Amino acid sequence: MSYIVVQDLFYIVFLIALSVPLGIYIDKVMTGQKVFLSRAFAPLENGIYKIMGTRSDEEMGAKKYTLSVLLFSGIGFVFLFLLLLLQGVLPFNPEGIKGISWHLAFNTAASFVTNTNWQAYSGESALSYLSQFLGLTVQNFVSAATGIAVLFALIRGFVLKRQSTIGNFWVDLTRATLYILIPLSFVIAVLLVSQGVVQTFSPYRAVTTLESGAAQTLPLGPAASQIAIKQLGTNGGGFFGMNSAFPFENATPFSNFIEVLSILLIPAALCVSFGKAVKDGRQGRSIYLVMMIFFAVSLVAITACELFTGPGFNGVAASGNMEGKEIIHGVGGSSLWTVVTTAASNGSVNTMHDSLTPLGGMLPMFLMQLGEIVFGGVGSGLYGMLAFVLMTVFIAGLMVGRTPEYLGKKVEPFDMKMVCLIILAPPLLSLLGTAATVLIPAASAWLTNSGAHGFSEILYAFSSLANNNGSAFMGFNANTVYTNVLGGIIMLLVRFIPMAAAIYLAGNMAKKKTVAVSAGTLSTTNGVFVGLLIGIILIIGALSFFPALALGPIADYFTS
């Protein structure tokens, strides 16, 4: 157990230590300053602008910014959808895999464009190499870059005064991809390959087993390059079906550490970037602290659940719950990953969440249900958290009867409408999706477990879909027309409604003048505010989901 404590502490210290310089770097990149990679990449960057016919100083208002995001994502969606349907007749398909069904293609395209990476298929049996690297890898990059772009549009909204524009989406997207995501992914991909993560275009390899002499097929592919960005961009979609539990995705304790670190790296660094960008480091720190508190408490709780509330079997030595876990990760490494992947809206797994203990499985569910704001998705996590910050400022303002303000900007009715769209879309769609599915008689046939745990499989699925996480209780058979279509629509709504709201919030904020800080201004950097923010997040999350959780994991705990 002491090893687990040391491992977790090391992880947190290492994460914080890396997030500070990276956060400063990201701020420089996104505010157009020169960085050490500029010399090498600036010609390429300018070349891309030239191809697009855009100028780097061309500014956009909220409407144009939103339209650009939607059109860009729409094109990506159509391209991916067609690629998945037609993969059977396209090259880079050594296993001769056929095109997938229209509803699975719809679901998968929606899933990767929205940074969810929910997967109702197994990569090794359903997708060609071309679909993986030309379709999925690309969306892994650009959906993450889109999140970063929108976050910085929102930050500009706070920083700018009396302006009608909030930046240029094409520039934001290009710079985030070119200077942040590609270089980091390259380093991580090479490190992963060194540990045994596969990276090749050769066909699957047939080998002979030792005891029986039977043939065994080893699935291969250009995996490491995709896995690097899957973690860094909080995407989470596995190259192989069993995701990062599969040894060809995650081969050693070292590869596991790199992957689990890269999941939270950018979301944590963005808190630092935020402080830099608004020229008040304390603002970033208080948000970072709130996220870290949620994260640490969840980590302790799930590790304890997996260690101490596992089942006892006759004649078997008790040493924590190992069902669904790999030896090299054990209870400690699996619990850490589970919290990291659901705190961030990553959704990759190195252990089977369906086989977590009942209360251990409730924690990742609850982290998603909070709205993916405990670090959350790249960019989207922080703009989601900023919506909660505005909500807190607003409620605190109501309590003392003052017009609420944040970073010198008055928070007014239009802003609060946008905040509500950001905050309420995910819980609403999680619960509606769960309720609708429970009502379908056929749904019970899609479950592996029965009773309360079966309900948990459905609740987990829709909490994951409606928060763009993408992990699953994999006992739930997701590849049905119903879940593919409904899930696809939910993922699109819950990604783009809050995203558009965040951009319009930015546009409205940028138009305002700033008001001077006075003695009556609510501080958003002290302990009281941190406590208030935690309270608001918990109240909204707990009130929305406590009844559902009581029917699922809590009932499961008391009845098994």
Partner 1 sequence: MNKNTKILKPALLCFLAMTVLCGIVYTAVVTGVAQLFFPHQANGSVITVTLKNGTTREYGSELIAQKFTKPQYLIGRPDGVTNLSPTGEKEKELVQKRVEWLRSIDPDNRSEIPVDLVTGSGSGVDPNISPAAAEYQAARIAKARNMSADAVRAVIRKYTTGRFLGFLGEPAVNVLKVNLALDGLL
Binders of partner 1 among residues 220 to 279 (CB under 8 A) are: 220, 222, 224-226, 228-229, 242, 245-248, 251-254, 256-257
Stretch of residues binding partner 1 (CB under 8 A), selected from 101-109, 273-281, 305-313, 419-427: 305-313
**Residue 223 to residues 12, 130, 136, 421, Cα–Cα distance (Å):** 27, 12, 11, 37
Q: How many residues bind partner 1 (CB under 8 A)?
A: 112
Contact in structure between 306 and 320 (CB atoms under 8 Å) = yes
Separation between Cα atoms, residue 528 and residue 364, nearest integer Å: 27
Least distance to partner 1, CB of residue 235, Å = 12
Minimal distance, residue 344 CB to partner 1, in Å: 19
- Closer by beta carbon to partner 1, 316 or else 519: 316
The CB-of-349 to partner 1 minimum distance in angstroms stands at: 7
Among all chains, which residue has been given the structure tokens 């059977």?
88
Please, are residues 130 and 154 in contact by the beta-carbon 8 Å criterion? no
**Nearer Cβ to partner 1 (201/546):** 201
Give the residue with the Cβ less far from partner 1, 27 or 326: 326
Diameter over CA atoms, the chain? 80
Q: Which stretch binds partner 1 (CB under 8 A): 46-54, 294-302, 409-417, 482-490?
A: 46-54
Q: Which of 48, 395, 436, 493 binds partner 1 (CB under 8 A)?
A: 48
- Looking at 81, 106, 133, 446, which residue binds partner 1 (CB under 8 A)? 133
Instruction: Copy the structure tokens of residue 256.
Output: 């596991």
CB 195 within 8 A of CB 230: no
Instruction: Report how far apart, in Å, the C-alpha atoms of 407 and of each of 31, 79, 531 are.
Output: 18, 41, 19
For the CB of residue 396, give the shortest distance to partner 1 in the complex, in Å: 39
Residue placing its CB nearer to partner 1 in the complex, 71 or 539: 71
* Binds partner 1 (CB under 8 A): choice among 27, 124, 372, 556: 556
At 360, the amino acid letter reads G
Query: Considering only residues 139-158, where is the footprint of partner 1 by CB under 8 A?
Result: 140-142
89, 313, 445, 516: residue in contact with partner 1 (rule CB under 8 A): 313
Residues in the chain, total: 560
The footprint of partner 1 on residues 184-213 (CB under 8 A) is 185-186, 189-190, 193-202, 205, 207-212
Whether residue 470 contacts residue 346, with contact meaning beta carbons closer than 8 Å, is answered with yes
Burial of 403 (0-12, 13-18, 19+ CB in 10 A): exposed
Q: Which of 467, 485, 501 is nearest to 115 (CA)?
A: 467
Cα dihedral value 510, 513, 515, 516, nearest 10: 100
Instruction: Give backbone dihedrals phi and psi of 205, rounded to 5 degrees, phi first.
Output: -110, 135
Q: Which of 22, 30, 343, 349: binder of partner 1 (CB under 8 A)?
A: 349
Q: Are 277 and 28 in contact (CB under 8 A)?
A: no
Task: Give the span between the Cα atoms of 382 and 516, in whole angstroms.
Answer: 25
**Residue 365 contacts residue 549 (beta carbons within 8 Å):** yes
Please check whether residue 397 is in contact with residue 404, taking contact to mean a CB–CB distance below 8 angstroms: yes
Other beta carbons less than 10 A from residue 52's beta carbon = 11
Pick the closer one to partner 1 by CB: 379 or 404.
379
Q: How far is the CB of 218 from partner 1 (least distance, A)?
A: 5
- The site map against partner 1 for 324-343 (x = CB under 8 A) is xxxxxxx-xxx---------
Shortest separation between residue 379's beta carbon and partner 1, angstroms: 16
Q: Is 57 in the site for partner 1 (CB under 8 A)?
A: no
SS3 label, residue 309 = coil
Hey, what's the torsion of the CAs at 540, 543, 547, 549, to 10 degrees?
A: 40
List the interface residues with partner 1, window 66-105 (CB under 8 A): 67-68, 71-72, 75-76, 79
User: By CB under 8 A, is residue 422 in contact with partner 1?
Assistant: no
Write out the binding residues for partner 1, residues 158-187 only, by CB under 8 A. 170, 173-174, 177-178, 182, 185-186
Closest separation between CB of residue 560 and partner 1, Å? Answer: 4
State which of residues 17, 40, 56, 323 lies at the interface with partner 1 (CB under 8 A).
323
Nearer to partner 1, 73 or 283 (CB): 73
220 vs 386, beta carbon nearer partner 1: 220
Q: Is 318 in the site for partner 1 (CB under 8 A)?
A: yes
Binding positions for partner 1, 434-493, rule CB under 8 A: 448-449, 453, 473-475
Sign of CA dihedral 331, 333, 336, 339: negative
